[in-house]
Amino acid sequence: MDNRTVGILGGGQLGRMIVEAASRLNVKTIILDAPNSPAKQINALTEHVDGSFSNPEDIEKIAAKCDVLTVEIEHVDVPTLQKVQKVHPKLEIYPSPETILLIQDKYLQKEHLIKNEIAVAESVAITEPSEHSLSQVGQKFGYPYMLKSRTLAYDGRGNFVVKSEASIPEALEVLKNRPLYAEKWAPFAKELAVMIVRSIKGNVYSYPTVETIHQDNICHLCYAPARVSDSIQLKAKLLAENAIKSFPGCGIFGVEMFYLENGELLINEIAPRPHNSGHFTIDACVTSQFEAHVRAILGLPLPRNFTSLSTSNTNAIMLNVLGDKSVKNKELQTCERALQTPGASVYLYGKESRPQRKMGHINIVSSSIEECERKLRFITGETDKPPCSSAVDDLETPIPGISKKPEIGIIMGSDSDLPVMSAACNILNHFEVPYEVTIVSAHRTPHRMSKYAIEASERGLKAIIAGAGGAAHLPGMVAAMTHLPVIGVPVKGSTLDGVDSLHSIVQMPRGIPVATVAINNSTNAALLAVRILGAYNPVYSGKMQEFLLKQEEEVLIKAKKLESLGYQSYLDGK
């Protein structure tokens, strides 16, 4: 696809997976790292450079041998990169040295993001580390707060949680001789991450928002997509995209962020390279983060949506495989269990096992995140029930009716509406549509209503039927808090013949529609719901066609009877 040679500073697992992706496109790669490093093991085509990505001479050596230079790690010698750029004006370096410089010093990174109005945790540089200066930070931020090395920090190394005034001396000892900054504690509910691809033109493309779970400050699990609401996934995506738009150069970027208990999103840190939180893309997306990087730095096509999950119901969990703390290679037992698990895929990096070293990762892919979790529990040894017997793997299509998951939610403002709304239940029973029915009052349980509306789509509901009377606010309010179609049933009250309810439901302002049916006609509300499902699900549209035919026949039979009997005896007959 491209005759240029890509040089990679660093030949660890990230470099290895970049090489794998490049080889599939017949793209030549050359690695700078120790002999026999993981990336070199799978590339016999070129003569690699033995040495270190932090050694100027070695960087100059590889620069002379390639057309495009990239990195698998940000802790590279940037001044040398800037120098070789001058020596080899034709050489393209991605990510740009300028960007690496901004990112490899985490405090510069923070200042850059703040300058670009990207939300980050409050932090302060520590010019002279001392008990005094750190206790001042304690007074400013309160305890605990994070003390971090500005440079060469990764997988928790270079971070210290200052729990109280008393732990300051230990903090100074642990991080001595390092350039430091302090960061206000972010009380996060979850950690999210988004992989962003930046094209040479500066367009950004984002992979699905994922959720990462750390152990001992090292990434342990990654859930794709993240187990948060669609709107939070979307917010995270936009935050990450805006952050990466602010950096020059191109390639793949990992953006880690905190999802705070108050719903806020703060960027934690950015990596200008493939990232652990993007390993799921190898199996869950058609184009992996590694191929995306290769395509970006070579200016190969990056079509819209090429970063999507493979299918509309792809779910994945990535599990890191770390060197066992006590017994060498014991971690392979986890891999063995993964091989016993259908839908799980093992990636080992060709490294010698050392405690806590990243030896490989395992991707689990399935049609549902619950299924992924079942498999994960077996792989981690939490359960010994092998998930192989799972029926989910066999099903080509979910069977409506069998599924426990409700597709339609029926809600009403009060149990007094039930006699009217029960007709909707009968219809959904008849069509074997899985549904749920409950009471949600706009005026008496406003928070319950919000929760119901906001969670509806996450729970798999495809439409909501809401019945209400009088100043009927339930359908409109629910419609305001979900993107699902909401069907409103005006329930006739003791006065005004239900015209009050009808107008309260149907006369919604521009922007928030409610699909309103006739007064007291919850039958039609349910039939409309079935039509909505039927628009995509042939099983339901088939049943709806039968239903319409049957209705027609019934009328024709009556017509025949009327014609044969004559109107008088027809009436008498009744």
Q: Which of residues 293-332 bind a second copy (CB under 8 A)?
A: 295, 300-301, 303-306, 308-315, 332
Q: Three-state SS string across 355-417, please?
A: CCCEEEEEEEEECCHHHHHHHHHHHCCCCCCCHHHCCCCCCCCCCCCCCCCCCEEEEECCHHH
Q: What is the CA radius of gyration of the chain?
A: 30
Q: Establish how many alpha carbons lie within 13 A of residue 167's alpha carbon, considering only the half-sphere containing its beta carbon.
A: 14
Looking at beta carbons only, is 158 or 406 nearer to a second copy?
A: 406
Shortest distance (Å) from residue 264 CB to a second copy: 15
Query: Distance between CA atoms of 269 and 262, rounded to whole angstroms?
Result: 20
Site mask for a second copy (CB under 8 A), range 423-462, x = bound: ----------------------------------x----x
Structure-block tokens of residue 394: 């066999």
Question: Tokens representing 296?
Answer: 């970006």
DSSP string for residues in 125-168: EESS--HHHHHHHHHHH-SSEEEEESSS-BTTBTEEEE-SGGGH
CA distance 382 to 415: 44
- Contacts (CB under 8 A) with a second copy, residues 62-121: none
CB 342 within 8 A of CB 362: no
Stretch that binds a second copy, among 96-104, 143-151, 184-192, 547-555 (CB under 8 A): 547-555
Looking at the Cβ atoms of 172 and 376, the one nearer to a second copy is: 376
Q: How far is the CB of 432 from a second copy (least distance, A)?
A: 11
Residue nearer to a second copy on the CB measure, 510 or 574: 510
**The one among 176, 201, 510, 574 contacting a second copy by CB under 8 A:** 510
Q: How far is the CB of 77 from a second copy (least distance, A)?
A: 26
C-beta closer to a second copy: residue 80 or 501: 501
Buried residues in 41-56 as b, exposed as e (16+ CB within 10 A): eebeeeebbbbbbeee
Site residues for a second copy, 397-426, by CB under 8 A, read: 397-398
Q: Which residue, 97 or 475, has its beta carbon nearer to a second copy?
A: 475
User: Mind giving me the DSSP string for 309-352?
Assistant: BSSTT-EEEEEEEEPPSSSTTTTHHHHHHHHTSTTEEEEE-S--
Select from 201, 495, 538, 572 the one that contacts a second copy (CB under 8 A).
Answer: 538
Q: What residues numbered 340-369 form the site for a second copy, per CB under 8 A?
A: 340-350, 360, 363, 365-367
And the tokens for 37?
């490093």
Nearest to 283 by CA among 216, 217, 361, 392: 361
Tokens 């993981």 — which residue? 38
Least spacing, CB of residue 273 vs a second copy, in Å:
20
The stretch among 20-28, 253-261, 265-273, 433-441 that binds a second copy (CB under 8 A) is 20-28
Residues 258-287 that bind a second copy (CB under 8 A): 283, 286-287
Q: Which residues make beta-bridge pairs with 211? A: 192, 223
Q: Using the rule CB under 8 A, is 289 a contact of a second copy?
A: no
Q: Which CB, 267 or 484, lies closer to a second copy?
A: 484
Question: CA 24 → CA 19, 21, 207, distances in Å?
Answer: 9, 5, 21
The region of 67-75, 140-148, 184-192, 481-489 touching a second copy under the rule CB under 8 A is 481-489
Contact residue for a second copy among 117, 396, 415, 572 (CB under 8 A): 396
Which of 246, 356, 513, 562 touches a second copy by CB under 8 A?
513
Q: Which residues are bridge partners to 318 per DSSP?
A: 222, 363
Question: Helices 78-87 and 97-104: crossing angle, nearest 10°?
Answer: 170
Q: Which residues ranging from 181 to 240 are in contact with a second copy (CB under 8 A)?
A: 225, 230-231, 234
**Under rule CB under 8 A, residue 471 binds a second copy:** no
Q: How far apart are CA 141 and CA 124, in angstroms?
A: 10
Segment lying near a second copy (by CB under 8 A), choices 60-68, 243-251, 267-275, 545-553 = 545-553
Who contacts 89 (Cβ-Cβ below 8 Å, separation ≥6)?
A: none
- Those residues with Cβ within 8 angstroms of residue 512's Cβ, 6 or more apart along the chain or in another chain: 476, 479, 480
Position 393 contacts a second copy (CB under 8 A):
yes
Q: What is the nearest approach in angstroms of a second copy to the Cβ of residue 153? A: 29
Near a second copy by CB under 8 A: residue from 4, 23, 55, 436: 23
Helical ranges in 150-227 per DSSP H: 168-174
Q: What is the DSSP letter of 285?
A: B
Buried b (16+ CB within 10 A) or exposed e, 292-311: bbbbbbbbeebeeebbbbee
Site for a second copy in 30-59 (CB under 8 A): 36, 40-45
In the complex with a second copy, the residue whose CB is nearer, 17 or 102, is 17
Least distance from a second copy to the Cβ atom of residue 473, Å: 15
First to last CA, the chain: 80
Residue placing its CB nearer to a second copy in the complex, 91 or 425? 425
Least distance CB 287 / a second copy (angstroms) = 6
Task: Give the residue, chosen from 64, 114, 125, 395, that forms a contact with a second copy under the rule CB under 8 A.
Answer: 395
CB of 43 to a second copy, least distance (A): 6
Sole binder of a second copy in the list 136, 508, 562, 570 (CB under 8 A): 508
Nearer to a second copy, 141 or 205 (CB): 205
Contact with a second copy (CB under 8 A) among 440, 463, 468, 472: 463
- Asked if 531 touches a second copy (CB under 8 A), the answer is yes
Question: What is the number of other CB atoms lying within 10 angstroms of the CB of residue 348?
Answer: 15
Give the count of residues interacting with a second copy (CB under 8 A).
Answer: 114
